[in-house]
Amino acid sequence: MSYTFFDLTIEDQLAQLAFNRPEKANSLHLPAWEEMRQIFEELDERQDVRAVVLSGAGKHFCAGIDLQTLMSIQQLNALKCEGRKREKLRQFILNLQDTITSIERCRKPVMAAIHGACLGGGVDIISACDMRYCTADAYFAIKEIDLGLVADLGTMQRLPTILNPGRMAELAYTGRKVYGEEAARIGLVNTVFESREKMMEGVGEIAKAIAAKSPLCIRGTKEMLLYKRDHPVGDSLNYMAAWNAAMLFSTDLLEAFQANMQKRAPVFVEE
């Protein structure tokens, strides 16, 4: 698998995916957005991938949407019909939203490993990841407020389920930077590492532990966590019962029981 704006390697059932526009602080123009969705759709289907680590090449994780991409919206002013102009703008926003949602649709856990800047659209992206980790010098900001915009790609919808509502409001209203230690303190990231090398090592170990579990159960766990986020407890319990009734009697279950009885590590095979 070779991509233009991302670097992807797959080894030992782990996908290491990195933004690869370091000369642009890994900001994303439209071709990069389209490529990201393609990648996550492919990773979702690959049986040799059980976890994904998302990071950034160069000095920064991701500076969000390339400003030239935002400026290109001005081309819509050439349309004479206001209705058609607004329709195309809506479709543009929905397309970018769907690209980020492709991270959630990927049934494999996605772990963001963040160093340097994570701004604007970068925050949208990590909000859609299952877990977030960073270096001490990493910093985050919902920068749209300083550009005369309301963040519209998922931060406002996903981050309030991760952060305290008051903290979320403060960051959205001010656009201020949050550095690594504070990010961990307010629950934006799971763990802060002193260096990028230690972060990639530590996140890699967690990803390996996930990859060693039943892939069917990992996919089911991700689905249940996302479902519960958007539904009340009663509906979630009902959905959980339906899922288990359909998936419980699997070869993974048998292998887990046999491995436990034989005091060995289970080996799960996709069939």
Catalytic residue numbers, as ranges: 65, 121, 124, 144, 152
Give the bridge partners for 112, in sequence order.
Answer: 54, 132
- What CA–CA distance (Å, rounded) separates 264 from 60? 41
Computed on alpha carbons and rounded to an integer, the radius of gyration of the chain in Å comes to: 20
| b/e burial code for range 21-55 (CB count within 10 A of at least 16 → b) | beebbbbbbbebbebbbebbeebbeeeebbbbbbb
